[in-house]
Amino acid sequence: MKTPVRVAVTGAAGQIGYSLLFRIASGEMLGKDQPVILQMLELPMEKAQAALKGVMMELDDCAFPLLAGMVGTDDAEVAFKDADIALLVGARPRGPGMERKDLLLENAKIFTAQGAALNKVASRDVKVLVVGNPANTNAYIAMKSAPDLPAKNFTAMLRLDHNRALSQLAAKAGVAVGDIEKLVVWGNHSPTMYPDYRFATAGGESLKDRINDDAWNAETFIPTVGKRGAAIIEARGLSSAASAANAAIDHIHDWMLGSDGKWVTMGVPSDGSYGIPEGVMYGVPVITKDGEYTRVEGLEIDDFSRAAMDKTLAELEEERAGVAHLLG
Ligand code: NAX
């Protein structure tokens, strides 16, 4: 039997948590032979803690053979203790009349504290995925607040956007989702993101050549992917949860177990390539293997793409400037 992997999940009693935890415990994230210990964090409020208790009761009731232990807590240092993986899902939602700037600052407080707690108690090799919005900037804040941990281990979730783009592209091109390779979503997890299918192939065939429709790209594909979150809220009355949990599973699964040479999108601290200033948490194409990701280098950036990539970068730089005073 393998040694259990400690997986911390924040916002564990929320909607995404409710989809995510059961799939982690059933082995879908780390493999059907990998036991896990779930370390779940929720707000101290009675309602949140009671809901967390209920989730833990249901986890018990699944009798998952791979679930080697559970911790439920309102203390980040307990939840992150020796964590090998941390899924930071809980975040402050936008309240009525709340400005974007206030939302950013409220979340900055949460992710500064959680970054510091990870720095103090997590495994020195902890792999962090930030899902809670604004995901890229929250991941940047957590990374900056954890100076003793490798910066490259802090990532933001762009995988939902990547998966959304895959489905849209598959439908347009009339190919199977699983056959598509070399797709990427650049930038921020926000409507400014840039889904880029210029390099995408299916069965070795270029999908750009197959579709051959620039108007579809600019007027349908990019806005549909960018506004998909809002479309789900309008249809469901609630934000994406199962698909977000699924994307988090995909992100960590591929990071830990490898993407088999395929490109996947991860929000990672920039190394300065593609004109993205160093440190900015930006969605880029990566190939993953054995717990490491490697950027896909040397892709040609045409004028249309440059403009789209700069637009989403400008938004990230603005967010970064908005929290700079908190990060010393
Ligand atoms: P919910 O409001 O259902 O759940 C969030 C949970 O987090 C709540 O139970 C709350 O008590 C808890 N929480 C809040 N602050 C906390 C803190 N400081 N420590 C521990 N727990 C805390 O939201 P849900 O639908 O689950 O979404 C969670 C986050 O994911 C939101 O910020 C949402 O905007 C974000 N999303 C990000 C996506 C992405 O692709 N990056 C897509 C889906 C989703 O919109």
Q: Is 151 among the annotated ligand-binding positions?
A: no
d(CA 11, CA 175): 37
The pLDDT tens digits of the residues spanning 256-300 come to: 999 999 999 999 999 999 999 999 999 999 999 999 999 999 999
- Between the CA of 206 and the centroid of ligand 1 the distance, in Å, is 37
Q: Which residue has the tokens 């203390």?
A: 75
- 3-state SS, one letter per residue, for 112-178: HHHHHHHHHHCCCCCEEEECCCCHHHHHHHHHHCCCCCCHHHEEECCHHHHHHHHHHHHHHHCCCHH
The pLDDT tens digits of the residues spanning 229-245 come to: 999 999 999 999 999 99
As a whole number, mean pLDDT of residues 155-183 equals 98
Residue 133: CB within 6 Å of ligand 1? yes
The pLDDT tens digits of the residues spanning 27-43 come to: 999 999 999 999 999 99
Residue 248: CB within 6 Å of ligand 1? no
Residue 253 among the catalytic residues: no
The pLDDT tens digits of the residues spanning 52-99 come to: 999 999 999 999 999 999 999 999 999 999 999 999 999 998 878 788
Residue 79: CB within 6 Å of ligand 1? no
Q: Write down the ipTM of this complex.
A: 0.99
Both tokens of residue 42? 């929720």
Q: How confident is the model at residue 20 (pLDDT cuts 50, 70, 90)?
A: very high
The pLDDT value recorded for residue 99 is: 82
Atom 20 in ligand 1: which residue has the minimum CA distance? 42
Neighbours of 219 (CB within 10 A): 11
* Mean pLDDT, all residues of the chain: 97
CA 164 to chain centre: 13
Active-site residue, from 189, 251, 253, 325: 189
The pLDDT value recorded for residue 195 is: 98
